Amino acid sequence: MAAVFAATLLLCRFAAPLLRCGPPVAGIRHLSKEEVTVSAKPSIQPSRGNYVRDAKTGMVGIVMDFSLGQYWLRPVGGGREWVARPSDLREITQAELLSERVAAANRQQQACGRA
């Protein structure tokens, strides 16, 4: 707890001068609130067979089909398909894919009573 307080105090001490609003600096264009937009990563357009993460559910799945503006995904290791919007899909790394495959193999072994 004390370490968090010390880190916050240190951050406030050195970051405060940077956060203060002052007169516009000559030669620098300042953006209005309307021009500043915060957005997530642009949505991806995976094809059949690609592995993606559904940000809404947190699940990783393989793209089975794209129909009517939605993707049909199946969990790694098999299971019931679900529908995801393109804006909810995120690319995954090889490490994430390997982790999902290991988890699926472990679930399958437990279901068969081998674990």
Q: Is the pLDDT assigned to residue 3 strictly greater than 90?
A: no
pLDDT tens per residue, range 11-22: 555 554 545 555
Q: What local confidence, expressed as pLDDT, does residue 54 receive? A: 94
pLDDT tens per residue, range 95-104: 999 999 999 9
More confident position, 21 or 109: 109
Confidence band, pLDDT 50/70/90 cuts, at residue 39: very low
Residue 112 burial (CB < 10 Å; 0-12/13-18/19+)? exposed
pLDDT tens per residue, range 47-68: 999 999 999 999 999 999 999 8
Q: Is the pLDDT assigned to residue 84 strictly greater than 60?
A: yes
CA–CA separation, 115 vs 104, rounded Å? 13
The pTM score is 0.58
More confident position, 9 or 59: 59
More confident position, 81 or 111: 81
